[in-house]
Amino acid sequence: MTRTERRREKVDPEEVDDPVRRRDFIGAMAAIALPLSHTSDHSLGSRVDSEDVRRLYSRNARLRRLDNFMGGADTYNLYAAEVSNTTDLLKSGIYNSNTGLKLKSLLGEQAQLAGWAAFDAGQYSVAKTHYMTSLAAAEEADDLALAGNALAFLAYQMTATSQNGVSTAAASWEKAQKSATPKVRALLLERLAWSHAVAGQAKETDTALALAREALNAHDDRPEPDWVFWVDAVEMDIMAGRCWTQLRRPLRAVPILESVLEGFDDTHARDKALYTTWLADAYVDASEVEQAAVTTVRALDLATGVASVRPKARIEEVSQRLNRHRDTPEVAALMDRLAR
């Protein structure tokens, strides 16, 4: 089942609309993850063969999907432990050169997961360290697509911390484009588009978004790496909506985000909360103050119990924009909620 299908898979609304029940669901996911954190590479002997590596990659794919449901503060220690285990295995294990290259690529993937979780938890210096570890491991493995993605993560963090990420995102694309599969190309191009949008470069944003969609639809017989399992047409729409919101183009942003969010499952609470804040932001730009306030409350409901700093930061940004409309009942209700 793809991430899009999981997003759209219908569940009992009562199981997710109540923040307490959603926290119970997330707690159940954590309970599933916890045993994994204690069963990592200890079953491996000193010799590591291709079958061992296959099992490690399969494990990493399962752990990666926890990010759909859990915030970085919940997953960071688990992902960081995987980085440590594989680092130790590379130092002390016995393996041939081909297995060594695969282990280095695995380390690159794991370090990206740890970096992303740290970023999501607001630990930016820790995240950057993991991304640099990933970049070095991927380059040593001659995995240029993965190396490009490490740079894309760095660029994304730069844009989130008031830095210009365009040159780093462009370097990401330059490094990976010749060897990347369609979904990887699409991912790196949409992140380049985002960097352009944050820099206020509308024309470049539009070009990168168009190229990303073109890449996603390209035919290629090569298998996609698991780390782009979630990249699809819905993801392209989300990024387009975010870009046009960032560029203060609500007529473009609102229809896209409304359509995407209508089919986005509430169990992906962090992501849906984030995307909902972008829709609220676009409503503010469209002078739809009441709708912006109601939508921000919805984001607040979704973000309850999510171990991520990002939805809260976005809700605060939108709420500050709405503050001058406190005489509007919907805005007053939002401010009351935030004051609790």
DSSP state of 165: -
Q: What are the C-alpha distances in Å from 116 to residues 126, 253, 288?
A: 10, 26, 34
302 contacts 273 by C-beta, under 8 angstroms: yes
pLDDT, position 6: 40
Q: Is 152 within 8 Å of 142 (Cβ atoms)?
A: no
pLDDT of residue 25: 52
Query: In whole numbers, what is the pLDDT of the chain averaged over residues?
Result: 90
User: Per residue in 58-114, pLDDT tens?
Assistant: 999 999 999 999 999 999 999 999 999 999 999 999 999 999 999 999 999 999 999
Average pLDDT over residues 241-254: 98
pLDDT at 9: 40
pLDDT for 340: 86
**Which percentage of the chain shows pLDDT scores above 70?**
87
Q: Is it the case that residue 38 has pLDDT exceeding 80?
A: no
Structure tokens at 272: 């849906």
In degrees, rounded to 5, the angle at the alpha carbon of residue 109 between the alpha carbons of residues 191 and 130 is: 80
Give yes or no for residue 178 having a pLDDT over 50: yes
Q: Give how far Cα 121 sits from Cα of 74, 145, 270, 306, 338, Å.
A: 9, 26, 12, 10, 21
The pTM (predicted TM-score) of the whole model is 0.89
pLDDT per residue as tens digits for the range 260-297:
999 999 999 999 999 999 999 999 999 999 999 999 99
Owner of token pair 């997953």: 75
Confidence grade of residue 44 (pLDDT, cut at 50, 70, 90):
low
Determine the pLDDT at residue 262.
95
Q: How far is CA 169 from the centre of its chain?
A: 16
Average pLDDT over residues 305-327: 97
